[in-house]
Chains A and B, each alone.
Chain A
Amino acid sequence: MVADATPVRSTGERPVWLVGLAMWQLLLGVATAVGFGMVASSTGIEIVGTPRPLTMAALGIFSILALLAATWIWRFDHRGRLIAFILNLVLAAVAGFFTLQAVNVFNGLDALSATFGDGLPFLAVIAVGWLLSGWSRGRSGRWERILLTASRGLMIVGAAALLLSVGLIPGLWTFLTRIVLPPAIIYLAITVFSIAALRLLKTSQVTKAFGSTSKQLEVMDGIAFVSPNILGFLAFLAGPLAISLFVSLTDWDGLSEASFIGLRNYIDLFADPFFHRSLLNILYFGLLAIPLSIIPALGLASALNMKLPGMRLFRALYFLPAVAGVVGVALIWKQLYNATIGYINYAILQGTELLNLLPFLDLTAPQPQWLSNPSTAMLSMVIVFVFSTIGFNTVLFVAGLQGVPPSLYEAAELDGAGIWGKFRNITVPVLAPTTVFVTITTTILALQLFSEPFILNAPQLSPNGPANATLTPVIYLYQNAFERFKQGYASAIGWVLFLIIFVITLIYFRTQREEGVLTK
């Protein structure tokens, strides 16, 4: 691989760009090494932002890699090019972030939101243009071209008007006045340099000089393409997750300095009666809500799969609650649950009266105080949860059934199978993988129950409900973290919940594997 580069090296001449690249890497390596030394010598543990060992590790690794890259680039080794590419990508992201943070672009969204309302009509214009372009596709020759041009023009005009109306020009002016001041200008310089290095590393003259193969080039493309996801994942999910584990071992209150207390939070948690109560509540909730939002969905999906007219409409109607969102749905149900004027108790009353028309019956209609009675409060949450998830699960099952050839059902019919037989012997086994998926997602959702009790109990009751009947682990976590500021304790609750979900998921996977063996 390096052999191709030999002629260049033998002349002893190194092009200017190569010297520049190597120097840039060297500079980065030295700078991060200095940074490493500075962090290492300073004292005091800090959790906010980044803990010191993490910062040191990041700087140290970066420094070593940068020096390595500089050496390898100097020797026309492709590995140097690859490492330099990764390092500059990370650097561009980090420095770019600091640039934007320094000129306050991230929070500048507030300024945009203040004027955004004025731009909404133009957003509608863009949407109309977009719909028009979709509609005009596939029209006859000349018309398609005319309509497409028109729709494109509409979208461009709409976008321009939108940008002007939300205050693009004053915004840009503010941006420019801020970016020329330090420290923004320094961050900007680093960003520009690293982007320039990235561009240079991708040029064909570099490829020629390093004798890189197309496979090696592809690696750089792959890294560049996944980098937004990976950087976002590291910054906003994996990083916080690691910090969370660390915080759960401290008594941090989110403000003052934390001290390491080992497993103390976890031990306290196992003796905490409120936490016990929340686990019992969520167990009761899960045992009711999970089967109730899966089994009827399975039945509905196999009915929808019969390919009768009107099935699309039904499918869409079932999906409605998932579309509307939990806050709206919960607020609607709060009115339905009203014990004196709500529709549910009214329906119970009417239903009972209807039943009492039968000669041998004389029932009194129960009129429960759904939300304020401890024995029905959690049941009310179950109903709302099932209402919001059953349609989504039905659609998942319908999708899972679409791979089944209709001939399978026809063959079963010829063998004299009834509706139940077909359901039992075809639908259920075919849907086994879907069922596992649906069960896992529903379980994860159910164990994190929060919004329903939070909305339905307000404002008369606290989210805990009557006599703590709707206290769930997530509500308890929320209260500890953001009302009592026991962030260490809250993190421990989060991890215990994570562990429970993880174990349940594993069990589901295990059973699916066993069932898979049985059906085969």
Chain B
Amino acid sequence: MTTAAVTARRRHRRRSLLGKLGIYFILGFFALLMVFPFVYMAASALKTPADTFRYPPRVLPRQPTTLEVNGEQLPLFLLPIIGIDTQVVLVEEGIEAGVFVDPGTPQQELAWPLALATPTGGQATLEGETVEIYSVQVGSTSTDLALKRNTVVGGFESAAGEETFAVVRTAPAAETVSAEWKNFSEVLERPAMERALSNTILVTTLVVAGVLFTSIMGGYAFARIRFPFRNAIFVTYLGSIMIPFIVVLVPLFQLMVAFDWINHLGVLVWPFLFNAYGTFLMRQFFVGIPGELDDSAVIDGATHWTILWRIYVPLSWPAIATLGTFSFLYAWNSFVWPLVAINTANNESYVLTIALRQLGGQAVESPNLIFAGIVIAVVVPIALFVAAQRYFVENVATSGIK
């Protein structure tokens, strides 16, 4: 190999390495955008209400820490002592103090007891006013600072006995990262939430089972059984995917009124046990299974029913898992229809989406509860997705688009 070729290859490799890094950077950036709201959700579900309203916002949930002194829970504060942030407790309030500044850097204020400051007799000009210079003793060092105005501070003490002072109202509380797990039990105790969870599981289980059954049956018929107008029926049925659900919203509602199903849980199940998309998905998968298998079975006298459940279904787990996951997500997350068909007055038939929507309106003062509710609603589909991922990402459209 010539030297030139080696150099060219090396350059190519270097360029592709850079390209790879670039790709990871872009993918990582988008992944961060996609995941951050969920991280925020999970963390906020464990916060106290006050923590959710804090500015600037923080991701991890934190709570003020306390220290037991003489049988009393005292709040801990975080104040600098000799430049190091130290946990301290409030020991004395209402100390006469002054706000001192260095005339060179007037933004940096120090609130310190007047007892620890002695006038030097000097003067300085601050924002057009004449102020007195004091010798302020902080720890063992003294600094010459100008007195800006008077205030009141509290005295704080660290575990090591060091003393410091600060305005009590603005003194930052010492906080540790800790989770408020009771948010979950609290949100489940709210009206309708726990019932909504079990209702959603029931509705989703029935819809998934129904859709799988009808889609497997229909898909097999459209793929393998010959009957008149088969293709015309199939195309018409498939075309119904294009009908926006919203067009049938009003008449379907009226039909349900006529059946007296409105406000009953069944209204979320019975009209949704069949699905053109699912039938299509199963058909596409069945068409790909070689026909010799069932030809020999037919000769042996097997019925279509036996062939379908004994030969086709065991071969079709990827497609079934895909369809199962999709109809699960569809049923679990459906919102518009439950909103219309389940009256707000009857919260025994609530499902999670409408219970969450109601919670979002009611718990404005405690977003932590809203977040806990969202976590409860999304954790099941996310777990299911993780479990079924292996099957279906490959399957989403290979059968759907070709």
Contacts and interface: CB of A to CB of B under 8 A. Distances in A.
A399 B378 contact: no
B156 interface: no
Contacts of B152: none
A218 B226 contact: yes
Interface string A214-250: 0100110111011011101101111111011001000
A241 B248 CA distance: 6
A27 to B, nearest CB: 27
A308 B23 contact: yes
Contact of B19 (A316, A323, A334, A419): A419
A444 interface: yes
A240 B251 contact: yes
Contact of A113 (B41, B202, B214, B357): B202
A24 interface: no
Interface string B193-206: 01100110110011
Interface stretch (A54-62, A88-96, A177-185, A493-501): A493-501
A318 interface: yes
Contacts of A226: 217-218, 221-222, 233
B115 interface: no
A412 B146 CA distance: 74
A383 to B, nearest CB: 10
A113 B198 contact: yes
Contact of B202 (A116, A316, A317, A419): A116
A437 B361 CA distance: 37
From B27, B44, B240, B276, name the one whose CB has the most chain A CB atoms within 10 angstroms.
B27
A275 interface: no
A329 B33 CA distance: 13
Nearest to A316: B389
Nearest to B217: A225
A391 interface: yes
Interface residues of B, number: 115
A415 to B, nearest CB: 14
Interface in B53-67: 53-57
A247 B255 CA distance: 13
B240 A233 contact: yes
A156 interface: no
A225 B247 contact: no
A244 B244 CA distance: 13
A411 interface: no
Interface string B73-116: 00000000000000000000000000000000000000000000
B396 A395 contact: yes
A187 interface: no
B264 A110 contact: yes
B214 A229 contact: yes
A201 to B, nearest CB: 15
A112 B202 contact: yes
Given A113-B202, A222-B227, A233-B240, A396 B396 contact: yes
A343 B40 contact: yes
A306 interface: yes
A264 interface: no
Contact of B20 (A299, A308, A341): A308
Interface string A423-447: 0000000000110010000001001
Given A232-B273, A331-B360, A482-B340, A325 B401 contact: no
B382 interface: yes
A331 B198 contact: no
5 contacts: A222-B230, A229-B214, A317-B34, A447-B244, A495-B247
Given A222-B230, A233-B274, A326-B333, 20 more contacts: A49-B255, A107-B266, A228-B214, A236-B255, A236-B271, A236-B272, A241-B251, A254-B257, A306-B23, A312-B389, A324-B38, A325-B378, A329-B37, A335-B52, A343-B57, A396-B400, A399-B393, A454-B339, A487-B254, A498-B247
Interface of B: 19-20, 23-24, 26-27, 30-31, 33-38, 40-41, 44, 52-57, 194-195, 198-199, 201-202, 205-206, 213-215, 217-218, 220-222, 225-228, 230, 233, 237, 240, 242-255, 257-261, 264-266, 269-274, 276, 279, 303-304, 329, 332-333, 335-336, 339-340, 348-349, 353, 356-357, 360-362, 364, 367, 370-371, 374, 377-378, 381-382, 385-386, 389, 393-398, 400-402
Q: Which 7 A-B pairs have the closest CB atoms?
A: A325-B333, A222-B227, A225-B221, A232-B274, A399-B397, A240-B251, A222-B225
